Amino acid sequence: MEKIKNQHGFALNVHDVVHRYGDRKALDGLCLQVNRSELFALLGPNGCGKSTLFRLISTLVPLQQGEIEVFGNSVRHDQRLVRGRLGIVFQSPSLDPKLTVRENLWCGSVLYGCDRRQFERRLAEVTEQLGVEDRLHDPVEELSGGLKRRVELAKAIFHRPRLLLMDEPSTGLDPAARLDLWRALRQLQVQQRITIVLTTHLLDEADRADRIAIMDRGQVRAVGSPGKLRQELGHQVLVLRPALAEIRTWLAEREIDATEADGELRITGNDVANLVPALAANFGRQIEQMSVGQPGLEDVFVAKTGHRYWADTTSVPA
């Protein structure tokens, strides 16, 4: 196989990517870098552009504008090299339910030019690693959702990819199966130093990643570790409903920043709880709800986008 370019570069480099569906922009000048051996999550509500970016990286859809490189190889000019270095777990199942686990893995390996001897050797490694070695002769349709995901993962890493793409990997899994999947992903990351990029709309799932990119309306609004992004907001968040103009004026007079989103005012910082007595004294009868807590990823999302996480998004394809 040809040598990889830019040996000291990023595992994934997305630069100024624009993608349109008709007159609508699904991606709007998106830029993103993912480090090698990193577990990275693309977080955003449905319709924000996550799946479109996924399709572009995996070469399923041609680039319209901008550039994407996988380990230095362009998805526009080096598609064969890029595809050889990718493992992909789609949101929709890619396994044949009527075939056994072994037969599904054989079909996948053939697509990457694996011969019978290579298949047998790799089969033992992968199935033991993912804990499905005792289910090789079971039809996939008889497996639980968690085991099916493990077989999907085994199929995706069979050819030893360097970048694993997973589109909403925990879709349809119960909480226990989701935890089991994440343990398997961490094992792959640590033991094989695979770079993992996944898309998710689940806040608690994104919280498990090394770093996340918050996406909204086709753009990246923030990038960083979940802890660092929360820390930037301070130790507390004060939420008020409704977002009264009088309260905004009162806060502005005291040089206190507040974000209005979907009828709520959010104030973040280290000592915002100290505002509660004064707010209650001045606006107590007008305030319907008032709460103080620690910032979460939804608070980060609101601070970066100006609207609630589950607010309606534009109707472009995801």
The string of pLDDT tens digits covering residues 120-155 is 999 999 999 899 999 999 999 999 999 999 999 999
* Residue 318 in domain: no
DSSP for residue 307: S
Percent of the chain with pLDDT over 90: 77
* Residue 2 in domain: no
Residues 203 and 116 in one domain: yes
Residues 211 and 255 in one domain: no
Domain extent for 267: 234-294
pTM: 0.88
Residues 72 and 209 in one domain: yes
Domain count for the chain, please give it. Answer: 2
- Within 8 A by CB and 6+ apart from 204, the residues are none
pLDDT at position 318 = 53
* CATH number for the domain that contains residue 59: 3.40.50.300
* Residue 221 in domain: yes
pLDDT at position 316 = 41
**What is the tens place of the pLDDT at every residue in 50-102?**
999 999 999 999 999 999 999 999 999 999 999 999 999 988 888 999 999 99
Residues 205 and 111 in one domain: yes
Q: Angle between the 145-157 and 116-129 helix axes, to the nearest 10 degrees?
A: 140
Residues 168 and 254 in one domain: no
pLDDT at position 4 = 40
Residues 212 and 254 in one domain: no
* Residue 60 in domain: yes
Residues 49 and 161 in one domain: yes
Q: How far apart are CA 17 and CA 213, in angstroms?
A: 15
Residues 244 and 104 in one domain: no
**Does the pLDDT value for residue 314 go beyond 70?**
no
Residues 223 and 280 in one domain: no
Average pLDDT, the chain: 91
Residues 238 and 211 in one domain: no
Q: Please count the other Cβ atoms lying within 10 Å of the Cβ belonging to residue 277.
A: 10
* CATH number for the domain that contains residue 279: 3.30.70.790
* Residue 118 in domain: yes
- Within 8 A by CB and 6+ apart from 140, the residues are 95, 96, 97, 98, 99, 100, 101, 104, 148, 151
Residues 184 and 219 in one domain: yes
* Residue 304 in domain: no
pLDDT at position 312 = 47
Q: How far apart are the first and last CA of the chain?
A: 34
Q: How far apart are CA 294 and CA 227, in angstroms?
A: 12
